[in-house]
A and B are shown apart, each in its own frame.
Chain A
């Protein structure tokens, strides 16, 4: 049979229908420097311009034969829409993602998220750029699925108030933190719905601020899990839950969020013990990630052979797709990423635990 297009492959993958070969794609940040350079853009300019964002996202996928395009790139857009100023580092020669140098809410009890913020967040700059960028991708690259993502409510909270204040307030001002998390959850639901309405083909909820090296599994269960479930349940499938950092103690709760919300997959970074996770979750779970986004595709010292071995190890860890464990770092070594893609497709051609082969 004819080779599936990337959008067919990814849609079938999330439906657990047999596919032609191992998908190589991501639902987290992916804008690559060779693509930006080819288009004549500079790194700071792609973050707040819908057309440049869309074109650099398409080119990043095309250049390295990835099965998805990802919008957006940075984690500051929502915070900016709520009134914080950001640094784009336009004068820097280094690759620096936007940051929020100063947060207007310095204490948890200063947080004021209005119903207008929640209901009309997509009308505010720069959030209004995202549907525009997605629509450009859908028109110009209809064969590529668009992956959108949103930060979870706790991590988003840390983007608008200092994270150390939030962490302490979990104990000292629990009711207030719960109320803030609920407002952020409502806002995140609305953003996700808008991105899906604009054409996003799948969506990833990323909540790195709650890993077990920061918060206790008990706090995760009581404070975070119900909210992640509520957000995911409000979105259309396919949907993935991702957490960076220490996740071994959280995998069952993460998967429960996915099951309870009608989601499809769960994703981790390199700190997860994938084989143990597979044992815990079984073969019905779509498991993604655990691919070292710096060491394999970017590190100066990593040879092509080492990158190939690294990705074989990732596949041997029983992932269902080759999917980076975090944002792909833009300054990749082209030869390494090309070899990673080739290995991903050719190394094992049989079914993975959760997804069969045609």
Chain B
């Protein structure tokens, strides 16, 4: 029978080296043996993703590798997440996420979504090519604390400004995150957004850094 430490290592290694079967088997074993699911997610899957972030920053990994690592992570997450007690996950918060109308690119959006999924947020993924008013409707319906929008092209970026105006008019406390290749800090400021990630690559770094901070937070909470 594998120890907790061995399973954590298998999960971590499986994410780093995109070994999907290894991740599935280790996650299932962890569940069957009654190991704490949240710890398996944070110190196994998320820890692996942090290493992936380092590899990406050092230009050893590029987007294809990160996508394969993300696939492996999700296979583990799908098995482990239902076993996290509600009191542990704390149902942190809700986010509405999507790629803006006119834009069918969603790699960056999906990587940011992964960050929220790992963190245990309730994610309302509207997909891509999302009509502007749907972001507003979904935020009002769910009362989500964060709305995250992505645009890969300059030609669609301006739609974000309209959505921010519409949402802030109705609910000024919603935090708005923008992402995508043409979005700069200046653009995010100009549009009245609260945060931004400039590209799929940047989303990888930012998303993974947030996972790192979340792991630190969970550790402090446990101490």
Q: Interface digits, B101-123 against A, CB 8 Å rule (1 contact, 0 not)?
A: 11111110010000000000000
Nearest A residue to B107 via CB reads: A164
Nearest A residue to B63 via CB reads: A214
Q: Interface digits, B138-168 against A, CB 8 Å rule (1 contact, 0 not)?
A: 0000000000000001111111000000000
Contact of B64 among A171, A244, A245 (CB under 8 A): A171
| Residue in B154, B157, B187 with the greatest tally of chain A CB atoms within 10 Å | B154
Q: Determine the chain B residues whose CB is within 8 A of the CB of A94 once the complex forms.
A: 101-102, 132, 158-159
Q: Interface digits, A141-184 against B, CB 8 Å rule (1 contact, 0 not)?
A: 00000000000000000000001100110111000000000000
Nearest B residue to A99 via CB reads: B104
Name the segment of B7-15, B32-40, B65-73, B79-87 touching the other chain: B65-73
Contact of A92 among B101, B104, B157, B187 (CB under 8 A): B101
At the interface, yes or no: A14 with Cβ under 8 Å from chain B?
no
B101 touches A96 (CB 8 A): yes
At the interface, yes or no: B199 with Cβ under 8 Å from chain A?
yes
Nearest A residue to B182 via CB reads: A294
At the interface, yes or no: B201 with Cβ under 8 Å from chain A?
yes
Instruction: Give the complex CA separation of A95 and B154 in angstroms.
Output: 11
Q: Determine the chain B residues whose CB is within 8 A of the CB of A298 once the complex forms.
A: 154
B62 touches A216 (CB 8 A): yes
Given A94-B159, A99-B103, A326-B154, does the pair A215, B129 have CB atoms closer than 8 Å?
A: no
Interface size (A, Cβ < 8 Å)?
38
- Main secondary structure, interface of A, reads loop
A293 touches B103 (CB 8 A): no
Q: How far is the CB of B179 from chain A (nearest CB, A)?
A: 13
Contact of A164 among B110, B186, B190 (CB under 8 A): B110
- Chain B contact residues (Cβ within 8 angstroms of A): what range? 20 to 34
A213 touches B154 (CB 8 A): no
Q: Which residues from 14 to 69 on chain A have a C-beta closer than 8 Å to any C-beta of chain B?
A: none
Instruction: Give the complex CA separation of A89 and B110 in angstroms.
Output: 24
At the interface, yes or no: B51 with Cβ under 8 Å from chain A?
no
- Main secondary structure, interface of B, reads helix
At the interface, yes or no: B16 with Cβ under 8 Å from chain A?
no
Nearest A residue to B127 via CB reads: A101
A96 touches B154 (CB 8 A): no
At the interface, yes or no: B175 with Cβ under 8 Å from chain A?
no
Q: Which residues from 181 to 217 on chain B have a C-beta closer than 8 Å to any C-beta of chain A?
A: 181-182, 186-187, 190, 199-201
Contact of A171 among B65, B102, B181, B199 (CB under 8 A): B65
Q: Determine the chain B residues whose CB is within 8 A of the CB of A194 once the complex forms.
A: none
Q: How far is the CB of B197 from chain A (nearest CB, A)?
A: 12
A245 touches B181 (CB 8 A): yes
At the interface, yes or no: A87 with Cβ under 8 Å from chain B?
yes
A96 touches B64 (CB 8 A): no
At the interface, yes or no: B221 with Cβ under 8 Å from chain A?
no
Q: How far is the CB of A220 from chain B (nearest CB, A)?
A: 10
Interface, chain A (partner B; CB < 8 A): 87, 89, 92, 94-97, 99-101, 163-164, 167-168, 170-172, 212-216, 219, 244-246, 293-295, 298-301, 326-327, 329-331
Given contacts A163-B105, A168-B68, A245-B199, 19 further A-B pairs with CB under 8 A are A94-B159, A95-B155, A97-B102, A99-B103, A99-B104, A99-B129, A163-B107, A168-B71, A214-B63, A214-B200, A215-B63, A215-B64, A244-B181, A293-B154, A294-B187, A299-B190, A326-B154, A327-B154, A331-B158
Interchain residue pairs with CB less than 8 A apart (10): A89-B101, A97-B153, A97-B155, A99-B102, A164-B107, A170-B64, A213-B200, A294-B154, A327-B154, A329-B155
Interface, chain B (partner A; CB < 8 A): 59, 62-65, 67-68, 71, 101-107, 110, 129, 132, 153-159, 181-182, 186-187, 190, 199-201
